[in-house]
Structure formats: C-alpha cells, structure tokens
Structure 1
Amino acid sequence: MRPPKPRTLDEALGRARVRHGVYSRSDREASRRRIAEQLRELGWVQALADPAAGQRTVQRTVMLHERAGQDLRALCQGVIHDDEAARRITRFDETRDPGGALAFACLLLLADYEEGAQFWLQYAAGGGQATGAVCLYLLHLHRGDWRDARHWAKQIAVLEHEPCQYAPIAHEVVDAIPGPAGVAVYLDLPDDVGVVSEDAVRDAVDILAVDTLDGFGAIPQPNPALADQLQDLMAH
C-alpha cells in the first residue's frame, strides 16, 4: 500500500531521502517531476483551506510563469532580429564568441531545443554576456525554478558592467518585489520588432549537427550556413 501524499511542506520535506550513488539525467528529471507534482498538490490544498487566498496565489504563479515564457520568446525574437546577430553567429561558429553563443541560443529556444539553448546561454553568461543571464532568469522563472531564477537575476547586475557586451535588448532589474522570484526584469523591446516563424526556425535548426558533450548530453552545434539561413529568415 502506498503511503498517503503529504499535506504540508514540512511533511513533504520530512520524507526526503538522500540517494546514495550517481544521479543520472533521467533521475534528476524524475525528481523534478515528483517535486513539481507535490508542490502543485500543496498549492491546491492551500486553495481548499482558504479558497480566496489560494486562488490568488495560484493565479499569480500561473501569470508569472506564462509572462516569463512570453518575455523569453519576445527577447529571443529581438536578439535574432538584431543587425549583428548573423555576424555574431558566424563568429561563434569560427571562434565560439560568447555574443554569438547568445544569438545561437536564442535560435535554439525558438526552435524548442531548450537543453541545448540552456547550455549555450550559460556559456554566453560565463563569457560576460548579461543578456545570457537575462534569458536564463526568464527560462528558470518559466519553469518555476525560483532559486535558479534569483541566482541569474543577481548575475545580471554583475555581468552588465563587464566589457565587450552584446546587448541588443536593453533591460532593467528591479529588486525586492513581492513574489517567489523576489526580482523582476523589464525588457525594452522595440515596438516594431518582427516575428520570425518558429516553425521556420525549427526547420533551420533541425539540420544542425548534434554532438554529445561529456556531462552535458546532446548539444546542437552551429554550422557555416546558419548565418545565411538566419538572414533569409529575416528577409521573409
């Protein structure tokens, strides 16, 4: 007989166990799903105990989650529409330029290659690109990973003073706001930014080579033709 599901956060934490041995990627994903399911259930328990407060909490969380996803895709559209994006991707293919990693990662995100995009965004942020940290903040916020979102929000403030920034979209971080993330990032998106078909982006990305990197899994790699394909997408 399966034990009853936890009814409080303390009860859920009390049942936590540390597994001995090596965690695989599938183990981490399964753990993420279990935690998410328990937190969703606890949210509905709160809603039943206090319907008014519970409804407000659920609505705020859903709105935050959806807005982060929308902002992330809008930011990626803004980056790939930048006049330098194709040139940056060419430099990235040749020299692994961090600014090009940002543009390449935005293409991957629009094509729904999320794991590969996260890898190259971390590469971009590690190379001093604050916009890479902005994308990671929004990505984790969209997933509901509040702690990781807060981490990358703090990194934005650190990285935006680094030299050699490639920042086609201006942003502003506001600290100490109510909510699980505790911060907000406002994007200064141009009113006339175009929207490239995500299906067309996916078709361009699907033909890329995918290499397995030790410890990171299958990560898409750029090729010399990708910059030309991006320019063709911008022209339609």
Structure 2
Amino acid sequence: MECTDHEPAADIDAVLEAAETLTDTYRDYDVDAALERVTALAQAGTEQAPEVCVPTPYPTIHEQAAHDLDLAVSLIVDAPQACSSLTRLLDTDPVEPEGALVFAALLHLAGYREPSQFWFEFAAGAGNRTAAFCLFLLHQQRSEHRTATYWRTRTNPPAQPPMPSPAGTLRHPHLLPDAVRRDLIRRCWKGLRPSLPPRFEAVIHSLPVEPHSEFGGIPRPDHTLTELPALTVH
C-alpha cells in the first residue's frame, strides 16, 4: 500500500502546545561525544564480532532513512541522560519532552512503529530537535517527502543557546546494560535492524495501552520502565 503525506495528528495539538515551553536537554546533544561512544562500543564488540564494519550507503533514499532512524534511536537510548530523562517522564507533570523522546526510541526498538511516531511528535512539538529529526527520517523512509520536509525545518537550531546543566549534577546509570547498547550499535553498523532482547521487549509490551483514532493503541509509560536498567541479559 502506497504511503501518503499527512500532517501531525490534530487531536494532540493541545498537548503539544502545552509542552512547548519546557526545557529540552537533548537540544544541545553532543554529536562528537555520541560518535566517540559508538566507536568505543563497536571496538569493544569486535573481540566477539570481528565482522563489524561501517555499512556502505544504501541504494535508495528511503532505505538510507530507515537505517539512519535505527541508528538515531540507538544513539538516543545510549545517551548518558537517557535514564534520568525517562525517570522524569514518569515523575513529572506535565510530561517532559526529553523523556518522551527516550520513550519513543524504546517503542521504536520494541517494534511499536506507529505509537513511537505519536511520542516523537509529542517531543518534537515541544521543541525537541532530535525528535523532529527522527520524524524527518521516519517520513523520508515512507517517501512522504512533504511531511519529511516539514519536520526537517523543525530541526533548525534555537535562536538562543540552551541553559547549561547545573554544576555537580550526579552521573546517572545508563538506561540499558553495556551488552545491550553494544549490540544495538553493532547491528546498525552491520546494516541490520536493531532490536531489544525479549525480556526488555516484554516489559515494554506489558505497558498500559490507550486507543487512538490515528495511531491505534498508544502505550503509556509507567514505573515498570524503571526495571530496565536492572535487567540482565544471558
């Protein structure tokens, strides 16, 4: 079935407008640091997976966009602030956009493609440029070029730089164990679709779901997500 362009869901406009004034800690995302983490993870995995290599460019734009989106969500959950952002998503009212971004990335990795779009739109509507870039890639993947262009314009830098993080902020644990983060990045580098281990997916698939006219069932975050950092992979 051919995909067509569409604008963001009108029935969440009020939610997006209410969130627009919130601070977005991913707005100043350190790309160089992210690439260093990717390299370190990949190098750490080469002893067990010597075939790891950087994939060649994909033959079509939509295939390249699909790969780039998978890599983007893997970097989002790899970010040091992902765990604390997800915690604030559960404990803060109104919902913070950076937590919504992390939740959207987890949903994407767990196979919730349409619901992840809902949460990406929430974060992007609140001014999160990383979420807007993910939406650009998502619609580029579907060949929905008009909508992709719309979200691409939302990735422009803000007029003023974001406020720096408070000095002395405690370092939070990573959202996912090293082995899981390493595997996500390794699969991206091999040109494979990244996915979460079954026990992680089970936590996400157990979340409460609310019906939505456009996106179907929308998973809602709850405190079972705080179990993710404690899960071990065998």
For Structure 1 versus Structure 2, the TM-score category normalised by the shorter chain is: 0.5 to 0.7
| Equivalent residue number for residue 86 of structure 1 | 83
| Displacement of 1:70 | 0.9
Structure 1: state its 5+ residue gaps: 1-32, 37-59, 167-192
| Displacement of 1:161 | 5.4
Aligned counterpart in structure 1 of residue 60 of structure 2, from 60, 63, 67: 63
| Displacement of 1:165 | 9.7
Question: 8 Å contact 1:116–1:219 — kept in the other structure?
Answer: yes
The 1:164/1:115 distance shift into structure 2, 3 A limit, reads farther
Q: What are the equivalent positions in structure 2 for 1:82-121 lying under 5 Å apart? A: 82-95=79-92, 96-121=95-120
String of CA shifts for 1:184-218, please: whole Å, max 9, x gaps.
xxxxxxxxx72346142433311111112466531
The 1:111/1:159 distance shift into structure 2, 3 A limit, reads farther
Of structures 1 and 2, the one scoring higher in RCO (CA 8 A, sep 6+) is 2
| Equivalent residue number for residue 186 of structure 1 | none
Aligned counterpart in structure 2 of residue 195 of structure 1, from 152, 165, 183: 183
Identical counterparts, % of pairs? 32
- Distance in 1, Cα, partners of 2:208 & 2:115: 12
Report the TM-score when normalising by structure 1: 0.57
Structure 2: state its 5+ residue gaps: 5-56, 166-180, 185-193
The 1:75/1:195 distance shift into structure 2, 3 A limit, reads farther
3-state DSSP of counterpart to 1:218: strand
The 1:213/1:65 distance shift into structure 2, 3 A limit, reads closer
Q: Which has the higher helix share?
A: 1
Larger radius of gyration: 1
Report the TM-score when normalising by structure 2: 0.57
The 1:215/1:162 distance shift into structure 2, 3 A limit, reads farther
Size of the aligned set, in residue pairs, is 154
| Displacement of 1:147 | 0.8
The 1:160/1:116 distance shift into structure 2, 3 A limit, reads farther
RMSD over aligned Cα, in angstroms? 3.0
| Displacement of 1:83 | 1.6
| Equivalent residue number for residue 52 of structure 1 | none
The 1:156/1:35 distance shift into structure 2, 3 A limit, reads closer
Task: Detail structure 1 runs of 4+ shifted over 6 Å in the superposition.
Answer: none
Q: What are the equivalent positions in structure 2 for 1:1-236 lying under 5 Å apart? A: 33-34=1-2, 62-95=59-92, 96-157=95-156, 163=162, 194-196=182-184, 198-200=195-197, 201-213=200-212, 216-229=215-228, 231-232=229-230
The 1:61/1:76 distance shift into structure 2, 3 A limit, reads closer
Q: Which has the higher strand share?
A: 1
